[in-house]
Structure 1
Amino acid sequence: MRLLFLFLAFGLGLQAAPDILLIVADDQRPDTIHALGNGVIDTPNLDRLVAVGTSFSRAYAGYPICHVSRAQILTGNPAFKALPQYPAGAIDPKLATLAGTLQKAGYHTCYTGKWHNDGHPKQRGYMTTSGLYSSGGGKGVVQPDMDGRGRPLTGYRGWTFKDADNKAELDKGVGLQPDNSRHMADGAIHALKTAPKDKPLFLHVNFAFPHDPRQWPAGMKDRYEAAKMRLPANFAPRHPFDHGNIEGRDELLLNTPRVESEVREELAIYYAMITDLDAQVGRIFEALPRPEETIIIFTSDQGLALGSHGLLGKQNEYEHSIRSPLIICGPELPKGERSASLVNLSDLFPTLCELAGVEIPATVQSKSLVPLLRHKTERVHEFVTGAFTDTQRMICDERWKYVLYPKAGREQLFDLLSDPDEMQDLSADPAQRKRREELAAKLRGWRQQNGDPNLE
């Protein structure tokens, strides 16, 4: 009954200083929510969120790597400005942070889950942590090198959960374990139960799933049958050129050329990890103390390829990787709506400030999405951009996408209206020369304005 009340209450117009719940998944493709068109995956809690909020189909990460994407969310700035030593991980200390801004406005700010930026959450405006998951603390603990499928255990080696005093909780395992999402939900629920009652709450939950190493969550073994998994429409055995990460760790997780059966197996486990994450999200929803006065946002730091275009990782500018799912709901906000407007994940900072009645800091470059949510405009961005190291730069408007590969000496041009899966590169089409040049010039101008250190 409580969960039903949560999803009905948003329409009642109940308003106080709103609590805020910001949930960020890790590497979740934008096409992995049942209610938004994926008929294979089960995501009942996210589906309910879709029913009571606004779902953005064109939310762009800006930089498809965890720590950089999250730095953009934390500061409301593009990567070149958020990280002075781009693409190194240290956030510019001169920039206001989302949690610090809300804390100064009277919020109790708490962080749960994966911390992949420099320093500690308490150095970025979070007053407390609960269920913190970060590097270090596993020294001397012997970790297996292989998973249950006989594949290398990649990523998060030596990472541990930490208690409120930042001491490792080794009983929860070292590295990315199959029950990782449950422990993070436990931390979030504890934070909700112990938060001060006299302050509004900002709870930021960063999950680590469905990032690799992909493992069946507890009770989810063979939840999805590999042989029945649908390959992406743009599946390919290999990428046609080195896009800047062809030998990167993510791309070496499976054989090249890609074997369909191996990709299907990876997809099956990936879907199971998302379904398990969805269940944990539901547990957090149930524990909300003021559901009718809570702004809830669900997104992911970026997507993932998993066979699309012959790639596995997220380090690319294709829609499956540079975009993220994004759902926003809360008191007096529209329910059950879809928006195809161009938005950035970094826009969440000013959006939450405006919804909470908090002044947006001068250092924030991104734009509030409140005018979109409240139907006061149909556009907040003329275009959005993407970047990865010094090897990829991207710009796209409502229809066209242009990608520049400076190191490879390549370009791509896609008509996202007629070719949403980006299967037909039009960059060499003489009929599109003017369009390509216009987008290239606009991209170069944006790079100059935002201090791209790799501008030729």
Structure 2
Amino acid sequence: MPRVVSVVVLLLIAVPLLAADPVKRPNVLFIAVDDLNHWVGHLGRNKQTKTPNIDRLAKMGVTFTKAYCAAPVCNPSRAALMSGLRPGSTGVYDNGQDWKAVIPKEQTLTTQFLKAGYDVHGSGKIYHANAHRPGEWTDYFVGANEKVTPHPTAKNDGVGGIKFQPLTDDSKLQDESIVDAGIKQLGAKHDKPFFVAVGLHKPHMPWNVPKKYYDLFPLDSIELPPTTADDLKDVPPGGIKFAKPQGDHATMVKSGRWKEAVQGYLAAIAYCDAQVGRLIDAYEKSPEKDNTIVVFWGDHGWHLGEKEHWRKFALWEETTRMPFIWVAPGVTKPGVCDRTVDLMSIYPTLCSLCGIDKPAHVEGNDIKPLLLDPTAKWDHPAITTYHLNNHAVRTAKWRYIRYASGGEELYDHDADEFEWTNLAKDEKYADVKKELAKFLPTTNKPELPTGKEKE
């Protein structure tokens, strides 16, 4: 009889333990934007831009003033971020190179969350060209087709390859349905922790958005980006090759429509910000807000004539820097971090915050210490790669670029924020270059075959 009583007592003790919920993991709202450089209000680089919603998000958590991409191109930047592997570790350096051939499903960020028991919902552009594979997402919504009409005031579709024009205000863009999908998930009842990824296409070209966004930036008030004459005179051939000054820039200057192009980009940013605002409104109303991490990132920056260059496809400040914001309940307090980080930090940091084991292949650094204390000591520079053996190392003070052909650039950002004076040939900076060169990637796999796609 005593043995029976003991068994009953043990069962009574064990049942509550078995029925208890495991420690609740935080949810994740993962917001990506495309081709957005540092022209956001809270970063202060461009005084014309209007981004009240991105700025509102920045005030909720930690915003990084010196955040940089792994590659200044959509496909390799996103493949690196989502796999935890830098371009040199995969051979994915440009658009048109198939990342799926070299990045197994088992290695991706979303796979780790699925394995940890999350529902993983995706919408829009997370990987380049809306690519996604079965088995790495619970579900995925690419986005509804656009319904757009050029506004009667539109002159044409832009200048050469730089495309922009205002649309009628009743036009509907793909990003709106993509955000709708994210809003739906934020308001839904979830039986599991969730990872909701929302990828906006704007401000990627074409900068075709409703005219009301163009009207926010009267043409007579537009200011051109800071430039200097003969900016490329001290840039080595590797940099000139990427800039192609006789291409987009020469065409734009000749057209006399440079200000119109800047207006178009600002309008596209304002449209993007409005969609981010809708998403943040839904996040704030979400029943899971107090247990949901928000990470907001852009895939790379963009040039609008700085250094006689347009688009991305280079290793300078304008094309490698973008906004980067984290809101992590119980971890972050509103603040600004001036430490230099890159987007390879997203994968390991999300694993750390969510209690998920970081896979051994992941190459980025966990920035949780900076989320807890934005002034914490940090010795890791940001590394950006464009094509085989072309790298940039960015610290708080320096940008050092080394091209595959051997050419170098060195800029002192304390004295030269626009990178107008290349110090690389000055012997007194030889030791600086030597120290920075220690951070150059040592794994540089050959490039994968490239298809026709460039944008």
- Which TM bucket (shorter chain)? 0.7 to 0.9
Deviation at 1:117, TM superposition (A): 4.0
Contact 1:343–1:380 (Cα < 8 Å) also in 2? no
Query: Could you list the per-position Cα deviations for residues 122-145 of structure 1 after superposition, in whole angstroms to 9, with x for gaps in the alignment?
Result: 436111112x159xx99xxxx99x
Aligned to 1:323: 321
Alpha-carbon distance between aligned partners in 1 of 2:190 and 2:387, rounded to the nearest angstrom: 44
Match of 1:49 among 57, 60, 79: 57
Contact 2:125–2:200 (Cα < 8 Å) also in 1? yes
Alpha-carbon distance between aligned partners in 2 of 1:247 and 1:238, rounded to the nearest angstrom: 13
Aligned to 2:293: 295
Amino acid at match of 1:258: V
Match of 2:257 among 262, 268, 271: 262
**2:436 aligned with 1:439:** yes
Contact 1:229–1:264 (Cα < 8 Å) also in 2? yes
Alpha-carbon distance between aligned partners in 1 of 2:157 and 2:129, rounded to the nearest angstrom: 30
Deviation at 1:238, TM superposition (A): 7.2
Amino acid at match of 1:316: A
Query: Could you list the per-position Cα deviations for residues 360-412 of structure 1 after superposition, in whole angstroms to 9, with x for gaps in the alignment?
Result: 112211111101111297344432222211373222323222112334x5321
Query: Could you list the per-position Cα deviations for residues 400-451 of structure 1 after superposition, in whole angstroms to 9, with x for gaps in the alignment?
Result: 22112334x53211111211211111112232233234434x25xx432x23
Aligned to 1:189: 183
Q: Kindly tell me the number of residue pairs found equivalent between the two proteins.
A: 406
- What SS does the aligned partner of 1:203 have? strand
Deviation at 1:210, TM superposition (A): 0.6
Change (3 A) 1:106 1:29: same
Alpha-carbon distance between aligned partners in 1 of 2:310 and 2:445, rounded to the nearest angstrom: 27
Change (3 A) 1:126 1:410: same
**2:424 aligned with 1:427:** yes
Unaligned runs of 5+ in 1: 1-14, 158-176
Aligned to 1:98: 109
Aligned to 1:129: 140
Contact 2:296–2:326 (Cα < 8 Å) also in 1? yes
Alpha-carbon distance between aligned partners in 2 of 1:360 and 1:205, rounded to the nearest angstrom: 23
Aligned to 1:23: 31
Deviation at 1:275, TM superposition (A): 1.3
Deviation at 1:19, TM superposition (A): 1.6
Change (3 A) 1:430 1:54: same
Aligned to 1:150: 156
Higher helix share: 2
Task: Give the alignment's TM-score, normalised by structure 1.
Answer: 0.79
**2:206 aligned with 1:223:** no
Task: Point out the more displaced range, 44-53 or 179-188.
Answer: 179-188
Match of 2:86 among 78, 84, 106: 78
Change (3 A) 1:148 1:73: same
Deviation at 1:208, TM superposition (A): 0.8
Aligned to 1:401: 399
Amino acid at match of 1:105: A
- What SS does the aligned partner of 1:110 have? strand
Contact 1:237–1:257 (Cα < 8 Å) also in 2? no
Larger Rg: 2
- Residues 366-377 of structure 1 mapped to structure 2, 5 A cutoff: 366-375=364-373
Alpha-carbon distance between aligned partners in 2 of 1:35 and 1:413, rounded to the nearest angstrom: 23
Alpha-carbon distance between aligned partners in 2 of 1:61 and 1:184, rounded to the nearest angstrom: 23
Alpha-carbon distance between aligned partners in 1 of 2:258 and 2:445, rounded to the nearest angstrom: 35
- What SS does the aligned partner of 2:302 have? coil
Aligned to 2:206: 213
- What SS does the aligned partner of 2:365 have? coil
Query: Could you list the per-position Cα deviations for residues 133-167 of structure 1 after superposition, in whole angstroms to 9, with x for gaps in the alignment?
Result: 59xx99xxxx99xx943236999x9xxxxxxxxxx
Task: Give the alignment's TM-score, normalised by structure 2.
Answer: 0.79
Change (3 A) 1:119 1:311: closer
Aligned to 1:280: 275
- What SS does the aligned partner of 1:353 have? helix
Aligned to 1:359: 357
Task: Point out the more displaced range, 415-424 or 108-117.
Answer: 108-117
Contact 2:87–2:93 (Cα < 8 Å) also in 1? no
Task: Point out the more displaced range, 371-380 or 303-312.
Answer: 371-380
Identical counterparts, % of pairs: 26
Alpha-carbon distance between aligned partners in 2 of 1:415 and 1:381, rounded to the nearest angstrom: 18
